C-alpha cells in the first residue's frame, strides 16, 4: 500500500481543520443538559490522548453535587481577586472580563494529574513535567470533541491548587490542573475572547517559526 493512502479524504480533512480553527475557550453558557452518550464520547476522546510512556496520568472528576460546584466557584472567585490585584494597572480592565462560567455550564469537570513517581522514568527522566503535557493533550482532545458536538469548553486555571485538592480530597500524589466548564452556548465567538475584548492581540505563526537555531534578534 502506498504511504500516501493514509491521507484522509478532502471532506474529512476539512472537518478536522474546521474544528481546530473553530475551537474556542468559552466562558458563557446556556443551561441545558448534555446527553450522557455525548459526554461519554467527549471523555473517551480525552482518554485517547497520547501519554508519556503510556502512563495515562489524567483523572477527571465529574462534579454533580451542586454544593461542590458552589464551593469550586468560590475558590475561583478568590483567585480572580488575587490575580486582579497582582495585575496592577490592568486590574479594572481584568475585572470586566468574564473569566469562568462555573455556575452556568451544563457539566463541571475537574482535570487532575497523578504523579506516577519514580516508576515513571520513560520519557521523563530529564523532563519530569511531561506527565503534565499528557493531561494537556487529553484536555485538547476533549475540547475538540466538545466543539464538534456543538458544546463550548472553558479551561479555568484560576484557583489555588492546594485548596482545590483539599476540597476534592485529593491524595498527595495528585493535583488539580483544570476546572473545565462544558456546556451549550448561545454562539461561538469568531476569534479568541481575549482578542475580541482587546485584552491582547494574537501574533501570527510566522513570529513563532525559526530555522535550525534561535534567531539572534528575537524576544
For position 4 contacting a second copy by CB under 8 A, the verdict is: yes
Nearest to 180 by CA among 116, 148, 136: 136
Q: Which residues lie below 8 Å from residue 6, measured CB to CB, with a gap of 6+?
A: none
Q: Position of cell 490585584?
A: 85
For residues 154 to 193, the per-residue mask of contacts with a second copy, x marking binding by CB under 8 A and - elsewhere, is -xxxxxxx------xxxx-xx--x------xxxxx---x-
Distance of CA 152 to the CA centre of its chain: 11
Site for a second copy in 104-133 (CB under 8 A): 114, 121-127, 129-130, 132-133
Among 102, 139, 181, 182, binds a second copy (CB under 8 A): 139
Nearer to a second copy, 17 or 74 (CB): 17
For position 194 contacting a second copy by CB under 8 A, the verdict is: yes
* Sign of the alpha-carbon dihedral angle for 45, 41, 142, 173: negative
For position 148 contacting a second copy by CB under 8 A, the verdict is: yes
For position 23 contacting a second copy by CB under 8 A, the verdict is: yes
For position 71 contacting a second copy by CB under 8 A, the verdict is: no
d(CA 56, CA 35): 26
Q: Which helix (H) or strand (E) is 68 found in, with range?
A: helix 66-87
First-to-last C-alpha distance (Å) of the chain = 46
29 contacts 101 by C-beta, under 8 angstroms: yes
Among 16, 70, 74, 95, binds a second copy (CB under 8 A): 16
Among 77, 104, 149, 189, binds a second copy (CB under 8 A): 149
Nearer to a second copy, 77 or 140 (CB): 140
Least spacing, CB of residue 184 vs a second copy, in Å: 4
For position 76 contacting a second copy by CB under 8 A, the verdict is: no
Amino acid at each position: 500500500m502506498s504511504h500516501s493512502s493514509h491521507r484522509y479524504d478532502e471532506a474529512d480533512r476539512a472537518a478536522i481543520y474546521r474544528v481546530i480553527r473553530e475551537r474556542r475557550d468559552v466562558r458563557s453558557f446556556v443551561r441545558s443538559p448534555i446527553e450522557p452518550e455525548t459526554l461519554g464520547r467527549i471523555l473517551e476522546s480525552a482518554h485517547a490522548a497520547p501519554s508519556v510512556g503510556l502512563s495515562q496520568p489524567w483523572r477527571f472528576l465529574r462534579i454533580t453535587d451542586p454544593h461542590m460546584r458552589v464551593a469550586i466557584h468560590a475558590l475561583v472567585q478568590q483567585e480572580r481577586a488575587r490575580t486582579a490585584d497582582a495585575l496592577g494597572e490592568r486590574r479594572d480592565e481584568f475585572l470586566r472580563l468574564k473569566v469562568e462560567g462555573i455556575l452556568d455550564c451544563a457539566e463541571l469537570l475537574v482535570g487532575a494529574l497523578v504523579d506516577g513517581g519514580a516508576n515513571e522514568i520513560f520519557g521523563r527522566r530529564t523532563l519530569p513535567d511531561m506527565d503534565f503535557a499528557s493531561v494537556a493533550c487529553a484536555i485538547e482532545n476533549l475540547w475538540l470533541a466538545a466543539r464538534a458536538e456543538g458544546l463550548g469548553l472553558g479551561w479555568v486555571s484560576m484557583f489555588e491548587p492546594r485548596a482545590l485538592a483539599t476540597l476534592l480530597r485529593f491524595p498527595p500524589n495528585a493535583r488539580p490542573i483544570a476546572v473545565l466548564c462544558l456546556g451549550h452556548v448561545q454562539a461561538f465567538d469568531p476569534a479568541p475572547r481575549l482578542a475580541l475584548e482587546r485584552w491582547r492581540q494574537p501574533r501570527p505563526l510566522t513570529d513563532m517559526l525559526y530555522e535550525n537555531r534561535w534567531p539572534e534578534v528575537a524576544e
